[in-house]
Amino acid sequence: MWNLKNIFGNRNNLSKKDIKSYLNDELTDQQKQEVEEIANASPLNSDALDGFEQAGAKSINGVPSFDDFLKDRKIDSTTSSVRKISPFINKIAAVLIGVVSVSALFLYWNENKSERTFAEEFETYEDPKMFALRDGTSNQNTNATLQKATTYYLEEDYKNAIVYFETFQKENKEDIQSSFYLGVSHLQEKNTKKAIPYLSIVAGQDSEYKDAAQWFLALAHVKMKNEIEAKMILEKIQKNASSFYSEKAKELLERL
């Protein structure tokens, strides 16, 4: 029979071995009870136990122990309350057993995977015509509202750009260019749900903005965790060898 005092130590924290053995049902009833008592006495230990239970015992492998974390930073947990640990250390300790739930760590990673992918792939879009519209040197009669919207867009003031693009669209609902830039502006402002309808319209029509609209639409679905929709669009882009985004779509598909 184990000597749980040696396992738990004076710090009264659950070790990786404790939790793994508990989840694998390798403990006696008395040992289980002691593990549960320690967990019940500490929200941190309780979170760790619950977290690994959800993530699976195998997920414990490779996670450093809380005791090692304390040793490295010369923190004496017998005299220091966890609540007194600095916010900086709390952030570091987020990956350690006994500090936060490992399930929370997995949730954080999964929740932010789409955000990270979007951020890595998204780049603002502009073409020479934008400058012509802004400066009033376009070959076509430049609408003052569209010109204002374009100016704000190029200045990266996307909130005001949206206001003026939307104003222009009220009288020019079929205008592809303003629909496209409205979609991209909404993406810049993290209004992904609002961006999708505009980008969908442009992506479905033949125009010089079609390829870019499809790409940004795919990214919008990635950000929204609509993986099926994103993959369908990316596969379509990949098959279009003449598209500037064909290779980028292929690479992104391999990551999803």
Asked if 220 and 150 sit in the same domain, the reply is yes
Asked if 102 and 156 sit in the same domain, the reply is no
Asked if 227 and 142 sit in the same domain, the reply is yes
Asked if 126 and 235 sit in the same domain, the reply is yes
Question: Given this model, what pLDDT does residue 105 score?
Answer: 47
- Residue 116 located in a structural domain: no
Both tokens assigned to 45: 């230990």
- Amino acid letter for position 215: W
Last residue of a domain, one of 86, 110, 134: 110
- Residue 117 located in a structural domain: no
Confidence of residue 26 (pLDDT cuts 50, 70, 90): confident
Q: Tell me the residue range of the domain where 145 lies.
A: 122-255
Asked if 130 and 190 sit in the same domain, the reply is yes
SS3 content of the chain, % helix, strand, coil (to 5): 70, 0, 30
99-113, 135-149, 176-190: least confident range: 99-113
Given a cut of 80, is residue 68 above it in pLDDT? no
Asked if 88 and 61 sit in the same domain, the reply is yes
- State the Cα–Cα distance between residues 65 and 42, nearest whole angstrom: 16
Asked if 142 and 59 sit in the same domain, the reply is no
- CA angle at 35 for the pair 30 and 38, rounded to the nearest 5°: 125
**Total of domains in the chain:** 2
How would you label 160-182 residue by residue, b for 16+ Cβ within 10 Å and e otherwise?
ebbbbbeebbeebeebbbbbbbb
- Average pLDDT (190-197) is 93
Question: Given this model, what pLDDT does residue 101 score?
Answer: 46
- Residue 137 located in a structural domain: yes
CA distances to 8, 90, 181, 200, 214 from 68, in Å: 13, 15, 52, 52, 49
